[in-house]
Amino acid sequence: MPSSSLISVTPFLPVALLLLVAVGALVAGLGGLGHSRGVMTACVRAAVQLGAVSAVIAWVVTLSVAVAGFILLMYGVATFTAGRRITKGRRVWWAGLPIAAGTLPVLVILVSGGVISTDGIVIIPITGILLGGCLTATTLAGRRAVDELRQRHGEVEAALALGFGPRDAALEICRPATAQSLVPALDQTRTVGLVTLPGAFVGMLLGGATPIQAGIVQLVVLVALLAAEAVAVLVTLELAVRGHLAEP
């Protein structure tokens, strides 16, 4: 590997990866976290999926139809993944609404303003970052909203008895907890450069960009993510209080 690479491919690399997977699975298992098997399957899936993407990405980015198809595939997977973490049955597909509501306007602003190009090599990773952030925000917001409405059903009933409408009663109960879903994105943005140097910044530096250029790219990514996730959380909250994710 080139000396500028962040990761050096050596014979020990597969061993290190296996050790890290084993540590994650053992800690989850011995600590009673209940995700021991999930850690292993997630890592295996990551390896397979990244291998497949690495094999086809050079072809995909050269064709507009392939780029559009790949983005739709990412969106579909993000929707299904978030949806099944929140609810079940046909309600799963409601998760696609907050993910799209967060991602699409941000992409439109960035593209229409000339901040990013529509070239496949640019639009695919940027869209993937936004979809990933909205997936996480939607999952956290949806689960917290549904859990609050389920566990505090009596309080919802009390609000209804006081004259609140069904939506307003549910909103009063679950909005504070759902809003906490934005904390990870807020902390990431607040501490960038002080606690972490995120992937976009490091990748730009390794690619030969100046620190200023890398900083601008990372700032755009973080601000775009925060805006997209804020929209996703708000739409998820609205879906929850209207009973689309679970009965309020």
CATH of the domain at 95: 1.20.1640
Q: Averaged over 9-24, what is the pLDDT?
A: 91
Residues 75, 41 share a domain: no
The band of 8, judged by pLDDT with boundaries at 50, 70 and 90, is confident
Residues 11, 69 share a domain: no
Residue 247 lies in a domain: no
- DSSP bridge pairs for 192: 196
Residue 226 lies in a domain: yes
Residues 115, 189 share a domain: yes
Residues 104, 47 share a domain: no
Residues 165, 119 share a domain: yes
Count of domains forming the chain:
2
Q: To the nearest whole percent, how much of the chain has pLDDT over 70?
A: 97
| pLDDT over threshold 50, residue 33 | yes
Q: Averaged over 203-219, what is the pLDDT?
A: 81
| pLDDT over threshold 80, residue 203 | no
**pLDDT recorded at residue 1:** 45
**pLDDT, mean over the chain:** 88
- Among the three residues 18, 41, 60, which one is the final residue of a domain in this structure? 60
Residues 72, 44 share a domain: no
| pLDDT over threshold 80, residue 5 | no
**pLDDT recorded at residue 30:** 87
- 130 CA to centre of own chain: 7
Neighbours of 230 (CB within 10 A): 18
Neighbours of 162 (CB within 10 A): 9
Q: Averaged over 67-84, what is the pLDDT?
A: 94
Element housing 115 (H / E):
none
pLDDT digits (tens, 9 = 90+) for 133-170: 999 999 999 999 999 998 888 888 888 888 888 888 88
Residue 175 lies in a domain: yes
Give DSSP secondary structure letters for 156-221. HHHHHHTT--HHHHHHHHHHHHHHGGGHHHHHHHHHBTTTB--HHHHHHHHTT--HHHHHHHHHHH
- Among the three residues 12, 40, 60, which one is the final residue of a domain in this structure? 60
Residue 159 lies in a domain: yes
Neighbours of 40 (CB within 10 A): 16
- Among the three residues 44, 60, 76, which one is the final residue of a domain in this structure? 60
Residue 246 lies in a domain: no
Residue 248 lies in a domain: no
Q: Averaged over 56-68, what is the pLDDT?
A: 87
- DSSP bridge pairs for 196: 192
Q: Which domain holds residue 31?
A: 1-60
The band of 247, judged by pLDDT with boundaries at 50, 70 and 90, is low
pLDDT digits (tens, 9 = 90+) for 82-139: 999 998 888 999 999 999 999 999 999 999 989 998 888 889 999 999 999 999 999 9
